[in-house]
């Protein structure tokens, strides 16, 4: 049984104590000795999906039956917290990577070393999102990140070669040509939520900004503000989610859209030729973009042998010979370099996404852990304040830094 103290503190950190007490019941997923529970945030994948089949295969290899529960991401977090508090946590948990460090700090998750979870073949920059105080918790099943989609017809009409967009100056020059040709420049999400921070980070990090020193990213916020001032980006970005900004791009009027791998299927349905380039750093190169995607983790149980068997199941779910089918089904770039090569061989257009993932960073990396949410919220507030003209970029980031402290 878990001590109640740590999960209770965790519930409070998420602001979910009242919600869980009022709206949730004890999850009915208590497993028998020969049955192991796996919880994931993929309710869209039914029992006949490749993902579900992989789970069953890994259970068979471990000599147990798998009882799978799938929840929406937000619902999953609250149910895990309640289950951990009551001693009924799942044996294997798949969850969004920024949450890993928070659950680890609260004592809900076991370290990879404790359970024998093998993450040795995972790219270090992706594994970093699960690192806290020198220990690793879980391993990424795959990753998605951000890049720039472009409309080939719009750029051709404006005389822009997308291959020439290598830094901010060349991107600004391209946007100016697009506007002069009577088309729209770029759309993105700057909404006042985590989505807004997620989309701002490539530009922030691409300007050598540090999340522990928010004013260091002043150039990035000035860039975004200049796009609105010059008419390169619509004012709607301040309310855009990643979905609504994609809908703007899908009209065929925009040259560029910042979005992720999850839009590839929609891009094929857009009705116009498109391409993808990396988000450029301020002075060149590929800007580090934040990683999205989930980690496979092992929650603490009351039996070390049970935890180690759960570790074997988790290792199986992310093993190179299993993860290719799962990553394809989940629309992820694999976290394993050898599998990334297989993905590109099967689908060459994924090459740019593999490059983006290689340069990506975990939002909770640099040992920020549970400090990240306290930084992210002031940061998206600063972006909103600057883009709406409420504050100058430098002042907005300075105030955000004060709030983050």
Which pLDDT score, from 0 to 100, does residue 96 have?
93
DSSP conformation letters of 49-74: SHHHHHHHHHHHHHTSEEEEEE--HH
Do 226 and 374 share a domain, yes or no?
A: yes
Residue 129 included in any domain: yes
Tokens found for residue 93: 């948990």
Which pLDDT score, from 0 to 100, does residue 285 have?
96
Dihedral angle at the C-alpha atoms of 125, 127, 131, 136, nearest 10 degrees? -150
Do 381 and 233 share a domain, yes or no?
A: yes
Rounded Cα distance between 108 and 116, Å, is: 17
Q: Cα dist. 197→167, 367, 378, 379, 385 in Å?
A: 21, 18, 9, 7, 13
Phi, psi of 301 (to 5 degrees): -120, -175
Do 152 and 50 share a domain, yes or no?
A: no
Rounded Cα distance between 197 and 179, Å, is: 26
Identify the CATH number of the domain in which residue 255 sits.
3.40.190.10
Based on the structure, what is the number of domains in the chain? 2
Is the pLDDT reported for residue 60 higher than 50? yes
Rounded Cα distance between 106 and 110, Å, is: 11
Residue 327 included in any domain: yes
If pLDDT is split at 50, 70 and 90, which confidence band does 22 have?
very low
Is the pLDDT reported for residue 29 higher than 70? no
Domain containing 389 equals: 146-289+368-404
Mean pLDDT of 185-190: 98
Q: Is 394 left (phi over 0), alpha (psi -120 to 50) or beta?
A: alpha
Number of other residues whose CB lies within 10 A of the CB of residue 183: 19
Phi, psi of 296 (to 5 degrees): -95, 120
217 SS3 class: helix
Residue 27 included in any domain: yes
CB 145 within 8 Å of CB 357: yes
Q: Which residues contact 122 (CB under 8 A, 6 or more apart)?
A: 139, 140, 318, 335, 336
Which pLDDT score, from 0 to 100, does residue 365 have?
86
Mean pLDDT of 18-22: 26
Residue 353 included in any domain: no
Q: Which residues contact 18 (CB under 8 A, 6 or more apart)?
A: none
Do 322 and 281 share a domain, yes or no?
A: no
Do 17 and 134 share a domain, yes or no?
A: yes
Percentage of the residues of the chain whose pLDDT score is greater than 70: 92
Residue 237 included in any domain: yes
Burial of 249 (0-12, 13-18, 19+ CB in 10 A): buried
Which pLDDT score, from 0 to 100, does residue 72 have?
86
Which pLDDT score, from 0 to 100, does residue 359 have?
93
If pLDDT is split at 50, 70 and 90, which confidence band does 75 have?
confident
Is the pLDDT reported for residue 18 higher than 70? no
Mean pLDDT check: name the lowest of 32-46, 172-186, 334-348: 32-46
- Name residue, tokens 């990753």: 143
Rounded Cα distance between 286 and 137, Å, is: 28
Which pLDDT score, from 0 to 100, does residue 244 have?
96
Mean pLDDT of 239-254: 97
Angle at 202 between CA 200 and CA 206, to 5 degrees: 120
Percentage of the residues of the chain whose pLDDT score is greater than 90: 83
Which pLDDT score, from 0 to 100, does residue 26 have?
31
CB 298 within 8 Å of CB 136: no
DSSP conformation letters of 349-382: GGHHHHHHHHT-B-TTTTTTGGGHHHHHHHHHHH
Mean pLDDT of 257-264: 95
pLDDT digits (tens, 9 = 90+) for 270-299: 999 999 999 999 999 999 999 999 999 999
Q: Furthest-apart CA pair in the chain: how many Å?
A: 68
Which pLDDT score, from 0 to 100, does residue 32 have?
52
pLDDT digits (tens, 9 = 90+) for 85-125: 999 999 999 999 999 998 999 899 999 999 999 888 999 99
Residue 355 included in any domain: no
Residue 362 included in any domain: no
Do 69 and 182 share a domain, yes or no?
A: no
If pLDDT is split at 50, 70 and 90, which confidence band does 5 have?
very low
If pLDDT is split at 50, 70 and 90, which confidence band does 33 have?
low
Do 49 and 136 share a domain, yes or no?
A: yes
Do 198 and 175 share a domain, yes or no?
A: yes
DSSP conformation letters of 315-347: HHHTSHHHHHHHHHHHT-B-SSHHHHHHHHHH-
Q: Which residues contact 278 (CB under 8 A, 6 or more apart)?
A: 147, 148, 286, 287, 352, 355, 356, 359
Do 120 and 153 share a domain, yes or no?
A: no
CB 372 within 8 Å of CB 290: no
Rounded Cα distance between 132 and 134, Å, is: 6
Do 173 and 249 share a domain, yes or no?
A: yes
Rounded Cα distance between 243 and 262, Å, is: 10
Do 276 and 302 share a domain, yes or no?
A: no
pLDDT digits (tens, 9 = 90+) for 350-364: 999 999 999 999 999
Mean pLDDT of 174-199: 97
Is the pLDDT reported for residue 220 higher than 70? yes
Rounded Cα distance between 398 and 372, Å, is: 17
Do 11 and 64 share a domain, yes or no?
A: yes
Residue 62 included in any domain: yes
């Amino acid at each position: 049984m878990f001590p109640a103290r740590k999960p209770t503190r965790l519930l409070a950190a998420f602001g979910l104590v009242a919600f869980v007490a009022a709206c949730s019941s004890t999850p009915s997923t208590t497993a028998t000795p020969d049955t192991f529970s796996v919880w994931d945030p993929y309710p869209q994948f039914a029992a006949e999906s490749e993902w579900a089949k992989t789970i069953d295969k890994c259970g068979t290899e471990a000599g147990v039956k798998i009882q799978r529960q799938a929840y929406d991401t937000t619902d999953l977090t609250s149910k895990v917290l309640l289950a951990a508090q009551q001693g009924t946590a799942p044996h294997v948990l798949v969850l969004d990577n920024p949450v890993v460090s928070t659950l680890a700090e609260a004592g809900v998750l076991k370290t990879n070393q404790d359970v024998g979870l093998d993450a040795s073949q995972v790219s270090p920059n992706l594994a970093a999102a699960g690192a806290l105080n020198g220990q690793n918790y879980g391993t990424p099943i795959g990753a998605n990140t951000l890049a720039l989609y472009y409309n080939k017809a719009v750029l051709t009409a404006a005389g822009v070669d997308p291959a020439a967009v290598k830094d901010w100056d060349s991107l600004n020059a391209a946007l100016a040509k697009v506007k002069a040709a009577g088309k729209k420049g770029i759309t993105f999400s700057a909404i006042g939520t985590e989505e807004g921070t997620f989309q701002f980070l490539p530009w922030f990090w691409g300007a050598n900004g540090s999340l522990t020193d928010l004013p260091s990213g002043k150039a990035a916020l000035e860039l975004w503000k200049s796009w609105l001032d010059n008419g390169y980006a619509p004012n709607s970005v301040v309310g855009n989610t990643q979905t609504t900004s994609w809908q703007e791009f899908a009209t065929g009027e925009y040259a560029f859209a910042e979005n992720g791998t999850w839009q590839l299927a929609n891009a094929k349905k857009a009705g116009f030729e498109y391409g993808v380039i990396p988000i450029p750093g301020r002075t060149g190169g590929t800007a580090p973009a934040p990683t999205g995607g989930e980690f496979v983790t092992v929650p603490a149980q009351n039996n070390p042998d049970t935890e180690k068997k759960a570790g074997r199941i988790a290792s199986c779910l992310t093993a190179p010979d299993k993860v290719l089918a799962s990553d394809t089904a989940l629309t992820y770039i694999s976290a394993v370099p050898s599998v990334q090569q297989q993905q590109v061989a099967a689908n060459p257009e994924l090459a740019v996404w593999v490059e983006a993932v290689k340069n990506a960073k975990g939002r909770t990396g640099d040992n920020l852990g549970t400090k990240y949410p306290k930084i992210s919220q002031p940061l998206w507030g600063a972006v909103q304040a600057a883009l709406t003209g409420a504050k100058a970029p430098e002042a907005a980031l300075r105030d955000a830094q004060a709030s983050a402290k």
